[in-house]
Amino acid sequence: MKDRVYEFSEVSVILDQKDLKRLSKKMEREYNLKKIDQNKVEIRIPYLFLKSLKKEEVDYKIKRFYGPLAWLKILKHQPGVVIGIVLFLFILYFNTLTIKDITFSTNTNQNDKIEDMINAHIDERYMLSFLNGDLHEINLELRKEFSDFEWISVSRNGTNLHVTILEPSIVNHQVQYMDGAGDLVADFDGVIKQFQVAHGIPLVNHNQYVSKGSVIVTGNLRHNNTNNEEEEEHPFYIPAQGKVFAEVWHTKTVEIPKEEQETKYTGKIYTEKIYNAFGFDINLKKFNNHYEQFDQETTEQSLTIFSLKLPFSLKKIHYYEKDVIIREYDQTSSKKAAKSLVKKQITSHFEDEIDEILDLYLVNEEPQDDSYRYTFFVRTYENIAKFQRRNEDEQLQKADN
């Protein structure tokens, strides 16, 4: 554990410039430098590199710690502050688990009964209220008990439970559409494993296969009124909302070049200034090019008075130092790079915190003249629900017919 703390920690040290030049050959990469005076510099290095300083008998002074080691130092010297912060965060997190209020979208003569049913799923402990149950199950219970409502659902927003109710008097045959109405459709082919519907009617079951683009949660609240032809002709659409998790198989093919170049800018910039008057250049700041590799950018600003352009201008040539890193891949290293690239591509569309890659299989590899081509099967567990708005004019036209 102690070694892991040192491995992920860094330290800022002050040492002589002559010692830094001696050590630069042993450093695997460049580190942030800050000049203190003509002889001293401050450099931020990994904590484990201090062993090299001691081995080379370099005189240094530690100025600051970074990473896990910095927190351990604070904990050692100021434990009260750390304990206070941890206690505050614990209380803050604990507070988010409580239920403080139940609100309703509209007043009905059933609100008290609804609140009693919800309170049956709330436990009182230490003068605090905690939700004991799954919202999906509570919603099913409410819809079964209050079937005379067009719609009833409860959703959680922080410490508040909000009950949405649509009464038959509100949802009538003259109202067929709510602004922003739509369905949840499948963004990928997959096998349904779990769904959490806040608004709308689920059209899928557990372990059911669905294809991409199919409706999995409808925003038509009258979808289940199959025994009433009149209700079927007058649907009522709301914006469907929820999450539908499925097991999905992706096929990904990537190519890794046998050799690639990456340009990395060092951050060093030099600007050459050229003053131009009547077509003659006067170099105000000559650039002695000591950059081995660089890009340059030229900008020119003319002098104008009342939109009249005068024959005077200032040209600036910016030189950006860069390093060109050449990477070469063999079959082993390219396979690792391909797996990393596929994982990055897959996770880039993940939106829910529980979305994850379950398995990644290499099914085909094809060496090319200049690259390696790999094909992977990736099994994921992810939210495939994608909101798709309904066309208002089309739905109203269907309702009128």
The string of pLDDT tens digits covering residues 114-162 is 999 888 888 887 777 888 878 888 888 888 888 777 778 888 888 888 9
pLDDT at res. 387:
92
Say whether pLDDT at 165 is over 80.
Answer: yes
Cα gap 161→178, rounded to integer Å: 23
pLDDT grade for 184, boundaries at 50, 70 and 90: very high
pLDDT given at position 267? 80
The answer to whether residue 266 sits within a structural domain is yes
Task: Assess whether pLDDT exceeds 70 at residue 285.
Answer: no
Q: Give the domain CATH number at 11.
A: 3.30.70
CATH code: domain of residue 162: 3.10.20.310
| pLDDT score at 385 | 94
Quick one: tokens of 292?
A: 């081995």
What separation in angstroms does the CA of 383 have from each of 17, 186, 203, 220, 286?
55, 9, 16, 21, 59
pLDDT of the residue at 355: 93
Band of pLDDT at residue 25, cut at 50, 70 and 90: low
- Give yes or no for a contact between 326 and 259, defined as CB atoms under 8 angstroms apart: yes
pLDDT one-digit tens code per residue, 323-332:
878 888 888 8
Whole-prediction pTM: 0.47
Residue span of the structural domain in which 138 resides: 101-166
Residue among 121, 147, 120 nearest 132 (CA): 121
End position of a domain, from candidates 309, 326, 343: 326
Arithmetic mean of pLDDT over the chain? 80
Q: Is 71 found in the same domain as 9?
A: yes
What total number of domains does the chain contain? 3
pLDDT-derived band at 92 (thresholds 50, 70, 90) equals: confident
pLDDT at 395 over 50: no
Percent residues over pLDDT 90 in the chain: 21
Binning pLDDT at 50, 70 and 90, where does residue 401 land?
A: very low
Point out which residues pair with 202 in neighbouring strands. 217
Q: What is the pLDDT of residue 275?
A: 80
Report the greatest alpha carbon distance in the chain.
91
Residue 374 pLDDT level (bands cut at 50, 70, 90): very high
Top-ranked range on mean pLDDT: pick from 23-27, 314-318, 378-382:
378-382
Are 7 and 71 in a shared domain? yes
Q: What are the pLDDT digits (tens) for 243-264?
A: 999 999 999 999 999 988 878 8
Determine, yes or no, domain membership for 22: yes
End of a domain among 166, 185, 216?
Answer: 166
Other beta carbons within 10 angstroms of residue 313's beta carbon come to 16
Minimal CA–CA distance to 256: which of 327, 323, 324, 325? 327
Q: How far is CA 25 from the centre of its chain?
A: 39
Residue 364 within a domain: no
